[in-house]
Chains A and B, each alone.
Chain A
């Protein structure tokens, strides 16, 4: 079902976001703990990075139908 696609995508995005954010957070925390003496920077960074990645992924996923590959164009 094509109408379920968006929902699925969004679900994936969310999941991915959560994962990424969590992962970033985690890493950030880890890094902050490990490397950056409990600073919140790496946490923020990780979280932000995670969020950004998730966003980007989500966007990419949402764009994917409209994405044209160079080889496709050439063939067309």
Chain B
């Protein structure tokens, strides 16, 4: 029974599991269809890469060529400045308009140079001659040194430095792509020459500037020296100081003169050097101009302007030196005259008073009266002479003045002409520079415009390229898309077909399996049911057997054990068997509580009953005295009959005799038919009945129990037979 239950549970569980596990298998299948569009995608990728690369390369190259474009792009596109910095180098600084190249300064330069050399040489020679004459070493030192550097020179130097800076960053170059390699090479060559040019220019400019500065310095120093010298001279002339001081003054004057000479010499040298350098610069500028590199133009212009300004300053300073020198000349002439007069006077004095030495210092307190008188007379005479000379001079004055005026006029004219020429030259030069500057500006503007146009063209070109590429890209993409779509469709239909086939096959299998499963389940269920029934029948049979067995436990005279337990077992085990239940209920109480006697014991007991019943056969309710008892006893003793007699089929009234009945009963009992015997015994009347009452009851009980039990066992057997399946 337990096994049946377990099997049933397993079957149920299996059924449930199968039901649940069946469904997910249908869903967890995944198919991936990989569309192969590698080649088309590769083409598209390559085309787009090419486009982007070309655009980038073109932009970079153009930026390298045109800094303005580069600046624009850097301003508008973020992080492009980094890209440009990586590929092209740092951007060039904003262009400062440099001075133009001085081309027509040559004649001016040379003239000034020659003039300067001439002029520097002139006073040198004159003064050298004078020095030879004089004893006092009053050497004219054409010194013209200007200690403070003029502002324009510093500005020029700064500008030179600037142009040096400008040329430097333009040197950093690198080619970007193959397509722009040639351009890059050209650029490079250009840049190289430009670099060399600018380097040369810078060098020469630097050196010329330095030398010019030096020259100017020297000139100014010379100027200062000349001024001091003249000043000292004037002082010496004018002042009436004691002789010792005079000698010191003269010494100082000599020093000043020597210094002046030296300064003037220095100035002349420096001027020469500067002029030479400027000529070199001019040569360099010319060569740079001949190289015809446009980018160098502003630098050339700047160099030219620098040169021009240097020349102008040099000229200015030279003229200053010249005026100073002329002044000095005048003063020196004057001083010479004064010296001459003094010498004359001294000579006269010596002639008059030879003992008096030229040493004025020891003059005080050493003169006698005669000397004084002679001196005074001499002085008077001298005064007269001087007055006469003065009168003469006054007369000649006019002529001299006129002459001088004329001379001066001539000189002035000459100087004016020269100054005019210089100024004209300067102006011309300035005009030319201005023109050059304007030309440069216009050129720049034109350049810019051309660049804009070019840029526009390039932009237009790029736009056109972009459009064309876009169209191409679109077409290619469409094509690729189409191919991809068709391939995908194909793959999808194929996949669908396969999946459908698989699904069908699977469904078929599943259905077959399901049907089989159902069959199996039903079979198992029926088996289970049958087993259940069999188990129950078995149980029933067992319990009935137990009952039967308990019936057999009857001792010789003792009743069976109480059938209660067995009956309870039946009741419990076969609770759902109504028939059995009913039957168990039909069992008499006595059998349950006390048990029943066995047939054998009843049989045995019957004989006693029979005996007794025979003995009290005559006693009934009417005759029941003691005498009757005796009589009946006597009767029983004396009546001889067969102990057993076969009972007839039908009982006749004369068969209701005690002895007969007992005989039938005995016969029945002897033949195992307790029921019949009980029936016969039941027909006894009177005391015999009373005597047999208990036995009858017992017999009835036994018979009932036996009947019920036999029924139960028959039923159990029947059920068992029914449940057992024929092999």
Interface residues of A (CB under 8 A from B): 1-3, 5-7, 55, 58-59, 62-63, 65-66
Contacts and interface: CB of A to CB of B under 8 A. Distances in A.
B693 A58 contact: no
A54 B247 CA distance: 221
B196 to A, nearest CB: 162
Contacts of B624: 59, 62-63, 66
A36 B356 CA distance: 253
B626 A3 contact: no
B691 interface: yes
A66 B608 contact: no
B695 interface: yes
A1 B694 contact: yes
B237 interface: no
B621 A3 contact: no
A3 B695 contact: yes
B629 interface: yes
Contacts of A58: 626
Interface string B604-644: 01001100100010011100111001000000000000000
B396 interface: no
A62 B608 CA distance: 19
B607 to A, nearest CB: 11
Contact of A3 (B609, B625, B629): B609
B388 interface: no
B347 interface: no
B349 interface: no
A71 B621 CA distance: 18
B625 A2 contact: no
Q: Is the interface of B mostly helix, strand, loop or mixed?
A: helix
Contacts of A6: 612, 616, 687, 691
25 contacts: A2-B690, A2-B691, A2-B692, A2-B694, A2-B695, A3-B605, A3-B692, A3-B694, A5-B691, A6-B616, A6-B687, A6-B691, A7-B612, A55-B626, A59-B624, A59-B625, A59-B626, A62-B624, A62-B625, A62-B626, A62-B629, A63-B625, A65-B690, A66-B620, A66-B624
A63 B621 CA distance: 8
Contacts of B605: 3
A39 to B, nearest CB: 29
Nearest to B613: A3
B616 A3 contact: no
Nearest to A57: B626
Interface residues of B, number: 19
Contacts of A59: 624-626
A55 B294 CA distance: 184
Given A55-B626, A62-B624, 12 more contacts: A1-B694, A2-B691, A3-B608, A3-B609, A3-B694, A5-B690, A6-B612, A59-B625, A62-B619, A62-B625, A65-B690, A66-B621
A1 B687 CA distance: 14
A1 B691 CA distance: 8
From A2, A58, A59, name the one whose CB has the most chain B CB atoms within 10 angstroms: A2
Contacts of A66: 620-621, 624
A63 to B, nearest CB: 5
Contacts of A7: 612
Nearest to B693: A2
Contacts of B620: 66
B533 to A, nearest CB: 46
A55 B627 CA distance: 10
B198 to A, nearest CB: 161
Contacts of A62: 619, 624-626, 629
A66 B629 CA distance: 14
Interface string B688-724: 0011111100000000000000000000000000000
Nearest to B696: A2
A66 B619 CA distance: 10
A60 B630 CA distance: 15
Contacts of A63: 624-625
Contacts of A5: 690-691
Nearest to A65: B690
10 smallest CB-CB distances across A and B, nearest first, come from: A2-B694, A2-B693, A66-B621, A59-B626, A63-B624, A1-B694, A3-B691, A3-B612, A3-B609, A59-B625
A19 B629 CA distance: 21
Nearest to B627: A59
A39 B625 CA distance: 33
A17 to B, nearest CB: 11
Nearest to A63: B624
Contacts of B612: 3, 6-7
